[in-house]
Chain A
Amino acid sequence: MLTQALFRALDKKAVWVIGIFLAVAVLVPMANLLIPPGQFGHVPTYLVSLLGKYLSYAILALALDLVWGYCGILSLGHSAFFALGGYAMGMYLMRQIGTRGVYGNPTLPDFMVFLNWKELPWYWLGFDNFWFAMAMVVVVPGLLAFIFGFFAFRSRVTGVYLSIITQAMTFALLLAFFRNDMGFGGNNGLTDFKDILGAPVQAQSTRVILFAATAIALALSVLVCSMIVNSKLGKVMVAVRDAESRTRFIGYRVEYVKLFAFTVSAIMAGIAGALYVPQVGIINPGEFEPGNSIEVVIWTAVGGRGTLIGPIIGAIVVNLGKSWFTSALPEFWLFALGALFIFVTLFLPKGIVGLWKQLFGIRRKKAEEPALPTPAQSVDIERGEDSATFDNPQIRPAE
């Protein structure tokens, strides 16, 4: 059954994507370690970490694509899952500092000593164990998404309302993590990491390994998403996206389908956060910023939602642009980002990936089938609640 799903998942495109990232996982570290600095083809260590950061963003964008592109749930709270995963990792890294902190306290992180706390809060217990922390990376975002999604989808909170309450969720978490008494370092977050699994975080070899781990995680994410999307469940997800009410009337439990997609997606986002933190060396409440979640949405939209490669391309391209802009023309980055938002939503509804089809596909299609109206166009993707009334394409208003 599993092998069958695996076989089905590995269609030609997915194999290519997975292959590329596995190759990247090997080639970039080799280019860093084997080719001496200064020679052509050498990848400096800082660039390895930067690329690793992009790849973790790509996992996050892929996670969002799974719920938005395939299931029609626009979550504006995915940075919350990302940050929670990051905090779980950060807590492990904090516990690894041990006596090397400023205050030299063997168990308490510096900020707790500073706040005059006498012992570790209960929710920090166990985080000195790597595998426990890794379990939390998966469990905490997953559980939050499960509980949140269970209630939201059960009461049929859809469309815009869902977007806004996911935004409220991440905003509430942002405010909560800013508080010093939460015990997560408040404003400054967690930083000053020393070791991960005994290896120094700053060392070249550790950074290279972290990069390889991120690339492999991305390949695995693509595999998992591909398995889901190509399964029967994946087809139902697309059905929910295109005509939620109709899917429900046919007899599918729409809320469970959504809940599944939402939880899996949150777990992926959490893993992305956990890979992100050791590579950038800090996690602070700013990661919960609602604006960040919206930025993830734009990566996905730029690359092309509803495809597996699109969000990955989008995340990397937009972040490359961001890196270039913020160093070359810092004043204009927000202009560029804002214009990108508007341009993509107006002119590229299918993103970069869909550009080819948009330019040449439509013409061909027109030539082939001139008169037939295509059902379930992108127009009613978001109007799940209206589709009961407007489902018949012939009577859809001309807007």
Chain B
Amino acid sequence: MLTHLLRLALLTLSLLLPSQIARAQDAAVDIPAQIAAMGEASLKELTQIVVELASTGDNGVVPVLTALADGNLYLDEASGRVVIQNGSTITDPLTGEAVDLGAEADLSRIRVNNGLRRDISAALSGMTLMSDNPATRLAAAQGFLSKPDAANLPLLDEAIAAETDANVRGAMQAARAVTILTSEDASIEDKNAAVPQVVAGAGRNAITILTGALADAPDEVKPTIEAAIAGLEQGRAVWGALQNVWFGVSLGSVLLLAAIGLAITFGVMGVINMAHGEMVMLGAYTTFLVQLVIRQNFPGLLDYSLLIALPVAFLVTGAIGVGIERGIIRWLYGRPLETLLATWGLSLILQQTVRSIFGPTNQMVIAPTWMSGSTDFFGLAITYNRFWIVIFALIVFFMLLLILNRTPLGLQMRAVTQNRRMASAMGIRTPFVDAMTFGLGSGIAGLAGVALTQIDNISPNLGQNYIIDSFMVVVFGGVGNLWGTFVGALTLGVANKFLEPYAGAVLGKILILVLIILFIQRRPRGLFALKGRAIEQ
């Protein structure tokens, strides 16, 4: 009953008053007097006062009404003043200035009930809808959108008519449409017309709103709503798919970085380097050390520490790789399975060494400013670090292609891959090529380590998390073919992200592993098998 009265009052007011600017002056309401009256008013009188105050449209009354609703408005029994008490500070409700009531102050809270609270919030949104600030008006419109009430319709109509900002008007129209859709009195035609407006204006919440409205809607409107929901869901599915593709590409580029070095050593030399993951880990630790040095000695370069770490990591891990090749692997050529064991042993040693030096805890590498944050790309949230890693993976990949196809070393590598004995007979120093290949592969693993510092923890176990995935990529893509690795990494990345929503992260991964095992049955040499007599069975 009370609320109806209020709504009626608001309705008449909003119809009577022509524009929001002229309001404060026109209204012959004595604001200070009304506020002072609040102290002794009954609930019924309070409602009346709230309506009166709201009708002024004066932004100055907003604090009073908010305080009243929140239970922060007090009456000082001693002086008869109405004040706002917020924690220990006592302020004047209109001016907002601090008030000193003296020692004999006796504050008692002005009581409100839930009905009055609702009235206050309705009054407040009605007022904010007419605010001078577009952001406030937008917020008010969104408030109406989430709590549609038929009684607010005239208010909205008036606000829409007066609105100049297209954005805000859109939100208001959506709010109006939702209100029409949920109200009991609106005609079928109005409701049908309202559906597209909800779709246009309500943004991401449109589906929820429409689904909510569907249950109570008359039968004639239901088909329209259902069609609108179907359309929205289709749109959402497309965007979801795009988002998944992006996540997949991002994961795939990480896999590509980790696997590409392996592809070279595996492809050219037939060497199973189980210590490859540790090269990635060493690259990450090199980045950490480079940043440490820069932070202590050249703080100005901190933003470029990753760029500086790139060549350093490449050289460090590349040199270690050459050392491993000369020290261990060259004694084991022709026995790939034993290389696997020896390099596994090596990986244990490297892990333990790093653990002994740096400790088992995770280390931190600070992201440069140009890599932190994210951007909204047509509704796709893209974080900059992921974005740069994708770019970086592509650069590394194409650089490697260039090296393999356009340099003498690349030519020699390809020759050795295709026919080692013939290459040797033509005067290529195959041991040198082997050492360089292994160094290159390890160096690229180091580069991957630099990139991974941005998305993963730097711990001695870093490499272990990637080694199995890298092998899957190489085996899936086919040995001795960089494009195979490229396609393999991206396929696995995207497939992983598409399976995740349906199967969960772990089950998705299991499915991928099973699919790879099955795939190897069909094509034992991977996606892009190297053809030629050397590989023939």
**Which A residues are closer than 8 A to B by beta carbons?**
74, 148, 151-152, 154-161, 163-165, 167-169, 171-172, 175-176, 178-179, 245, 290, 294, 297-298, 301, 331-332, 334-335, 337-342, 344-346, 349, 378-383, 385-386, 388-389, 397, 399
Kindly state the separation between the CA atoms of A245 and B518 in the bound complex, as whole angstroms.
23
Kindly state the separation between the CA atoms of A349 and B342 in the bound complex, as whole angstroms.
11
Contact A301 B341 (CB under 8 A): yes
With beta carbons under 8 angstroms apart, the residue of B346, B472, B535 that contacts A168 is B472
B117 sits at the interface (CB 8 A): no
B335 sits at the interface (CB 8 A): yes
Contact A155 B522 (CB under 8 A): yes
Kindly state the separation between the CA atoms of A339 and B468 in the bound complex, as whole angstroms.
22
With beta carbons under 8 angstroms apart, the residue of A168, A175, A342, A383 that contacts B517 is A168
Contacts A/B (CB < 8 Å), 27 sampled = A151-B521, A155-B521, A160-B270, A164-B471, A165-B475, A168-B471, A169-B517, A171-B468, A175-B506, A175-B513, A294-B341, A331-B352, A334-B349, A335-B352, A338-B346, A341-B348, A345-B332, A345-B342, A346-B332, A378-B335, A381-B335, A382-B337, A385-B535, A388-B536, A389-B536, A397-B421, A397-B424
Knowing that A165-B520, A341-B345 touch, tell me 6 more A-B residue pairs with CB under 8 angstroms. Answer: A148-B517, A151-B521, A154-B521, A161-B524, A164-B471, A334-B351
Q: Which of B512-532 contact A (CB under 8 A)?
A: 513-514, 516-518, 520-522, 524-525
Contact A161 B520 (CB under 8 A): yes
Q: 10 tightest CB-CB pairs across the interface, nearest first? A: A341-B345, A338-B348, A338-B349, A334-B352, A172-B513, A338-B345, A345-B342, A155-B521, A345-B338, A342-B345
Kindly state the separation between the CA atoms of A178 and B534 in the bound complex, as whole angstroms.
42
Closest chain A CB from B507 CB (angstroms):
7
Contact with A along B322-352 (1 / 0, CB 8 A): 0000001001111111111110111111011
Contact A383 B475 (CB under 8 A): no
Closest chain A CB from B276 CB (angstroms):
13
Contact A168 B344 (CB under 8 A): no
Contact B337 A163 (CB under 8 A): yes
Kindly state the separation between the CA atoms of A267 and B334 in the bound complex, as whole angstroms.
31
Kindly state the separation between the CA atoms of A397 and B339 in the bound complex, as whole angstroms.
18
Closest chain B CB from A389 CB (angstroms):
7
Instruction: State the interface size on chain B (CB cutoff 8 A).
Output: 52
Contact B341 A297 (CB under 8 A): yes
Contact with A along B386-420 (1 / 0, CB 8 A): 00000000000000000000000000000000001
With beta carbons under 8 angstroms apart, the residue of B507, B522, B535 that contacts A179 is B507
Tell me whether A156 and B524 are in contact in the complex, defined as CB-CB below 8 angstroms, given that A165-B517, A346-B332, A397-B420 are known contacts: yes
Contact B334 A383 (CB under 8 A): yes
Contact A161 B475 (CB under 8 A): yes
With beta carbons under 8 angstroms apart, the residue of B274, B333, B338 that contacts A349 is B338
Kindly state the separation between the CA atoms of A342 and B340 in the bound complex, as whole angstroms.
10
Q: Give the interface SS of chain B, mostly helix, strand, loop or mixed.
A: helix
Kindly state the separation between the CA atoms of A346 and B534 in the bound complex, as whole angstroms.
26
B25 sits at the interface (CB 8 A): no
Kindly state the separation between the CA atoms of A301 and B340 in the bound complex, as whole angstroms.
12
Tell me whether A74 and B337 are in contact in the complex, defined as CB-CB below 8 angstroms, given that A160-B272, A172-B514, A388-B536 are known contacts: yes
Report chain B residues within 8 Å CB of A345.
332, 338-339, 341-342, 345
Contact A399 B334 (CB under 8 A): yes
Kindly state the separation between the CA atoms of A154 and B536 in the bound complex, as whole angstroms.
16
Give the A-B contact count at a CB cut-off of 8 A.
148
Kindly state the separation between the CA atoms of A1 and B407 in the bound complex, as whole angstroms.
65
Nearest opposing residue in chain A for B469, CB measure: A171
Contact A168 B513 (CB under 8 A): yes
Closest chain A CB from B108 CB (angstroms):
51
Nearest opposing residue in chain A for B523, CB measure: A155
B89 sits at the interface (CB 8 A): no
Nearest opposing residue in chain A for B271, CB measure: A160
Contact A342 B342 (CB under 8 A): yes
Contact B349 A175 (CB under 8 A): no
Kindly state the separation between the CA atoms of A345 and B420 in the bound complex, as whole angstroms.
24
Closest chain B CB from A193 CB (angstroms):
27
With beta carbons under 8 angstroms apart, the residue of B328, B475, B510 that contacts A346 is B328
Closest chain A CB from B262 CB (angstroms):
11
Report chain A residues within 8 Å CB of B535.
385
Report chain A residues within 8 Å CB of B348.
334-335, 337-338, 341
Report chain B residues within 8 Å CB of A380.
334
Kindly state the separation between the CA atoms of A260 and B468 in the bound complex, as whole angstroms.
28
Closest chain A CB from B437 CB (angstroms):
15
Report chain A residues within 8 Å CB of B522.
155
Closest chain B CB from A205 CB (angstroms):
39
Kindly state the separation between the CA atoms of A383 and B270 in the bound complex, as whole angstroms.
11
B537 sits at the interface (CB 8 A): yes
B533 sits at the interface (CB 8 A): yes
Closest chain A CB from B531 CB (angstroms):
14
B356 sits at the interface (CB 8 A): yes
Kindly state the separation between the CA atoms of A349 and B420 in the bound complex, as whole angstroms.
25
B509 sits at the interface (CB 8 A): yes
Report chain B residues within 8 Å CB of A171.
468, 513
Closest chain B CB from A171 CB (angstroms):
5
Closest chain A CB from B532 CB (angstroms):
11
Tell me whether A342 and B336 are in contact in the complex, defined as CB-CB below 8 angstroms, given that A168-B468, A337-B345 are known contacts: no
Closest chain B CB from A25 CB (angstroms):
32
Closest chain B CB from A84 CB (angstroms):
15
Report chain A residues within 8 Å CB of B534.
386, 389
Tell me whether A382 and B335 are in contact in the complex, defined as CB-CB below 8 angstroms, given that A161-B524, A338-B347, A339-B345 are known contacts: yes
**Most A Cβ at <10 Å: residue of B340, B351, B424:** B340
Kindly state the separation between the CA atoms of A224 and B420 in the bound complex, as whole angstroms.
43
With beta carbons under 8 angstroms apart, the residue of A148, A175, A389 that contacts B533 is A389
Report chain B residues within 8 Å CB of A342.
328, 342, 345-346, 349
Kindly state the separation between the CA atoms of A156 and B524 in the bound complex, as whole angstroms.
7
Report chain B residues within 8 Å CB of A379.
334-335
Contact B521 A152 (CB under 8 A): yes
Contact A157 B520 (CB under 8 A): yes
Kindly state the separation between the CA atoms of A163 and B474 in the bound complex, as whole angstroms.
13
Contact B516 A165 (CB under 8 A): yes
Kindly state the separation between the CA atoms of A6 and B62 in the bound complex, as whole angstroms.
99
Kindly state the separation between the CA atoms of A260 and B513 in the bound complex, as whole angstroms.
25
Kindly state the separation between the CA atoms of A168 and B334 in the bound complex, as whole angstroms.
24
